[in-house]
């Protein structure tokens, strides 16, 4: 079946050298009848070798990866590599320009829309292009995330466990090579609408990660990505490690096993947390409590951890609605 994408690229993915240009996504609106959403793309290619895709801006308010990949595009030279690197630093461009998790054009959350739809909304069309055009041409994909405006994370690179042991082993090796302080294995069920699930479905070694959050840019997160992606590319044989390159630090392997690792707000109100990132907690320990400033005589409603673990993520905003995630945990990986 021929590819039906409506997005077209200014770059030639098979051409040696360095190209920095745009994908064109037709978007006809009142102010611009023949307008396009312009999504930046870089292709760096030199001879034969592995093909790797690096993406950020899947969510527009997650900034560390966007900055790290812009720096990488400017700095990399084709003579430094053997193979092909496809870089998209602002994958959901409308969301990136708006500084929001979802696109302002269609409220589309790109990381919940794979495999996409060639005739759908702008965000669905972006998902379809990644899934049907880009993923079939690469063996490796690293999609850099952060906690966005609403969450704060300890920085980590991540992978999702699949039923394919061979793919899991290759992905774990790449995760360790990246060398983030924490390497997280998501053991929860695979969501094929997400980038990690889409990569698994396409038999692509796929890594993710959360490298900051709170709508801020963390210096640590940018540095972890910049150093880690070069170690990762050296491991894959795409780049040669630079002389004096800092060896990858030991990565603490951790996991999220199931829904008991998450704590959700039981009521709408103002959440008072009792723990900070990296705290070790026990099942039954109070996580925090929801206050009711419109009725201060009402007792706060507490919430509790359901399992032991380390706080790896916490909510940034004080106001909560019932069902908002306020904290989630991780535990050391059991293999």
Query: Which residues of the chain does CATH 3.40.630.10 include?
Result: 8-256
Query: Which burial class, exposed, middle or buried, applies to 50 when counting CB atoms under 10 A from its CB (0-12, 13-18, 19+)?
Result: middle
Give the separation between CA 311 and CA 306, rounded to whole angstroms. 12
pLDDT beyond 70 at 196: yes
Asked if residue 120 has a cis previous peptide bond (ω within 30° of 0), the answer is no
Query: Which residues of the chain does CATH 2.40.50.100 include?
Result: 260-332
What does the pLDDT read at residue 188? Answer: 82
What does the pLDDT read at residue 30? Answer: 94
**pLDDT tens readout for residues 46-60:** 999 999 999 999 999
pLDDT beyond 80 at 170: yes
Secondary structure (DSSP) of 258-295: SGGGEEE-SSSEEEEE---TT-EE-TT-EEEEEE-TTS
Percentage of residues in the chain having pLDDT higher than 70: 98
Query: Which burial class, exposed, middle or buried, applies to 262 when counting CB atoms under 10 A from its CB (0-12, 13-18, 19+)?
Result: middle
Average pLDDT over residues 176-191: 93
Residue 196 φ/ψ, nearest 5 degrees: -60, -40
Helix spans in the chain (H): 64-75, 93-98, 122-129, 165-178, 195-201, 219-236
What does the pLDDT read at residue 189? Answer: 75
Q: What is the CATH number of domain 260-332?
A: 2.40.50.100
Which residue reads 């990858």 in tokens?
248
The pLDDT confidence band at residue 172, using thresholds 50, 70 and 90, is: very high
CATH of 8-256, one of 3.30.450.40, 3.30.360.10, 3.40.630.10, 3.10.20.600: 3.40.630.10
Q: How far is CA 278 from CA 234, 252, 281, 328, in A?
A: 30, 13, 9, 11
What does the pLDDT read at residue 244? Answer: 66
């Amino acid at each position: 079946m021929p590819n039906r994408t409506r997005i077209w690229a200014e770059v030639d993915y098979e051409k040696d050298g360095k190209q920095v240009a745009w994908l064109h996504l037709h978007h006809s609106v009142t102010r611009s009848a023949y307008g396009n959403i312009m999504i930046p793309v870089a292709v760096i290619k030199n001879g034969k070798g592995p093909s790797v895709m690096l993406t950020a801006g899947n969510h527009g308010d997650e900034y560390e990866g966007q900055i790290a990949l812009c720096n990488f595009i400017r700095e990399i030279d084709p003579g430094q590599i053997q193979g092909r690197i496809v870089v998209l630093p602002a994958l959901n461009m409308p969301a990136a320009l708006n500084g929001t998790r979802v696109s302002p054009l269609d409220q589309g959350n790109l990381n919940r829309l794979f495999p996409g739809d060639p005739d759908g909304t702008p965000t669905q069309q972006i998902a379809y292009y990644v899934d049907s055009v880009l993923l079939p041409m690469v063996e490796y994909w690293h999609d850099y995330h952060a906690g966005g405006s609403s969450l704060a994370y300890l920085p980590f690179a991540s992978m999702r466990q699949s039923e394919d042991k061979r793919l899991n082993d290759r992905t774990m090796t790449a995760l360790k090579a990246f060398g983030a302080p924490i390497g997280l294995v998501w053991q929860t069920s695979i969501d094929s609408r997400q980038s990690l699930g889409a990569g698994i479905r396409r038999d692509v070694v796929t890594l993710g990660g959360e490298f900051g959050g709170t709508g801020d840019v963390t210096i640590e997160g940018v540095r972890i990505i910049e150093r880690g992606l070069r170690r990762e590319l050296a491991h894959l044989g795409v780049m040669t490690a630079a002389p004096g390159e800092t060896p990858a630090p030991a990565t603490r392997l951790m996991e999220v096993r199931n829904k008991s690792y998450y704590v959700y707000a039981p009521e709408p109100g103002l959440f008072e947390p009792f723990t900070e990132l990296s705290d070790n907690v026990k099942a039954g320990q109070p996580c925090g409590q929801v206050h009711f400033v419109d009725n201060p005589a009402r007792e706060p409603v507490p919430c509790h951890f359901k399992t032991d673990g380390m706080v790896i993520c916490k909510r940034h905003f004080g106001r909560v609605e019932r069902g908002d995630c306020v904290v989630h945990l991780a535990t050391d990986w059991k293999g």
